[in-house]
Amino acid sequence: MISPYVDCASARDSAARFVTRHCPWADLDAVQLVVTELTANALRHTDGWWRLRLSAESDVFSVELDDSSPVFPEARTPDFTGGGGGFGWPMVLSLAGRVEVRPTPAGKSVRAIWSHEPEAA
């Protein structure tokens, strides 16, 4: 699924519908938090376009956000005094099973991946 989104809420809602339909095994709360964080960062830290892609296979679900900034996300000390951030990237890294960041010709792509673990028989 590839769609243009105007804000974090519409991206998060679309992700919820996608997960419910295509990979109900995925942790919906974790997916929504990751989508919110990635889209908020794209809105906050880029001056250009961004695109969210959701994909599902039988045992893998991914959220991929491409944006126009070549600057990779990096962990920084959280600002507990208010408003300074520093919480989102560590949260993304802890909620997704795996996170990949790669440069693209027009910026970068951040991909959060969840794998479905089959239940033991």
d(CA 89, CA 4): 23
Mean pLDDT over residues 84-98, rounded?
88
The predicted structure's pLDDT at residue 3: 47
**Residues across the chain:** 121
Number of neighbours of residue 89 by Cβ within 10 angstroms:
19
Residue 67: band (very low, low, confident or very high) from pLDDT cuts 50, 70, 90: very high
**In terms of pLDDT, which residue wins out, 23 or 117?**
23
Return the SS3 of 6: coil
pLDDT at 80 > cutoff 90: no
Mean pLDDT over residues 75-95, rounded?
82
DSSP states of 61-117 as a string?
EEEEEEES--PPP------TTSS---SHHHHHHHHSSEEEEEEETTEEEEEEEEEPP
